[in-house]
Amino acid sequence: METEAKIGKAMSAALSRRGWHPTAVLGPFGAAAAASKLLGLSAPQTQMALGIAASKASGLRQNFGTMTKPLHAGEAARSGVEAAQWAQQGFTADPAILESRFGFFMTLVGEGEFDPEVAQQDFGDPYDIVSPGIGVKPYPACRQVHRSIDAMLELVRTHRFEPEEVDDIICETSEETLNYLVHHRPHTGSEGRFSMEYCMAASILHGQMGLAQFSDAAVQDARAQALLQRARYLHPDAGQPQWDTALPDVITVVLRNGQRLQQRADVAKGDPALPLSWDELVDKFDDCAATVLPEAQIEAAVQQIAQLESQPSLQPLMTHLTSPTPASAVPA
């Protein structure tokens, strides 16, 4: 994590602005660094692994809302591991792959949009995993919509209104949001993950946002399709989107009786500044693991993870995390 986080810090928001998916293009570096450490590679070998990873780094935001978007993370991990394995066998790459004329920084973001020194000046001091820490997404949707989901779920819990009572949904966000939440009339689960309108409708309909809310059937539900059409945007920074400075999200629900309900969210739940509780982390793990593991294994894995620092070996945990049935044979 430290390697990819510091490389990412060395670049401006131009990385996303030009259409690159940061997870996809930075992930290979992190995976290569981790695999190099586990394989016991020398410093020169690790340098080669990072050079190989740079040429395998790719992933376009245009694929947001398709099955290819989550593929980015898996490809990034595989690319990094393969890069380390190749370096171990003597495969070579340019040792100055980051800062060179045709290297990673110049090619992806261009002149004036990066500072190689930033990647080195506080490397490991502190580690990014410690400060500012990692963010954990509680909902399986684009992170750009999480604050709005937080706000809507709070309104639903507090006011307990029914979907039929809703006349208007106003989503006050930065105009930058439109660069990520690109599907306004989604028809698949993948598109729903990148739709403000659907996420607002689903939050009202279900009062929760887990994997079940992002199935194709859930998005195509007639109630969701009708409700999402009542959601609209309002951008305080219209014409001047804030790429580097996040604005709060403010959600307003107008009921048919004229009542206006409003909730503001400055920080998304799961951010280092607003971390998930242990119970919330377990809930997310359960939701994900239930698609491939039996309940007994999930419970055993949670117990192992809760005492991870004191475990003499990871073998029992890995056994609990291994599906007894091939994933392709498990019903969706």
**Has residue 17 been placed in a domain?**
yes
- Token pair, residue 254, equals 């107008």
Instruction: Answer with the one of 265, 289, 304 that is the final residue of a domain.
Output: 265
Average pLDDT of the chain is: 94
**Has residue 306 been placed in a domain?**
yes
Q: What CATH number is attached to the domain comprising 224? A: 3.30.1330.120
pLDDT at 331: 38
Mean per-residue pLDDT, 87-94: 98
Is residue 290 located within the same domain as residue 229? no
* pLDDT exceeds cutoff 60 at 234: yes
In this predicted model, what pLDDT tens digit does every residue of 314-323 receive, in sequence order?
Answer: 999 999 999 8
Is residue 6 located within the same domain as residue 111? yes
Is residue 97 located within the same domain as residue 161? no
Q: Which residue has the tokens 């990148």?
A: 194
Report the candidate in 134, 112, 101 with the shortest Cα–Cα distance to residue 11: 112
Q: State the pTM of this model.
A: 0.91
**Has residue 180 been placed in a domain?**
yes
Q: Which domain holds residue 184?
A: 143-265
* pLDDT exceeds cutoff 60 at 325: yes
Is residue 129 located within the same domain as residue 147? no
Number of domains into which the chain is organized: 3
* pLDDT exceeds cutoff 80 at 166: yes
Instruction: Answer with the one of 133, 161, 188 that is the final residue of a domain.
Output: 133
Which of 145-175 are b and which e, b meaning 16 or more Cβ less than 10 Å from the residue's Cβ? Answer: bbbbbbbbbbbbeeeebeeeebeebbbbbbb
When pLDDT is cut at 50, 70 and 90, the band that residue 332 belongs to is very low
pLDDT at 241: 72
**Has residue 272 been placed in a domain?**
no
Is residue 174 located within the same domain as residue 215? yes
Is residue 43 located within the same domain as residue 101? yes
Is residue 169 located within the same domain as residue 260? yes
In this predicted model, what pLDDT tens digit does every residue of 7-54 receive, in sequence order?
Answer: 999 998 899 999 999 999 999 999 999 999 999 999 999 999 999 999
* pLDDT exceeds cutoff 80 at 329: no
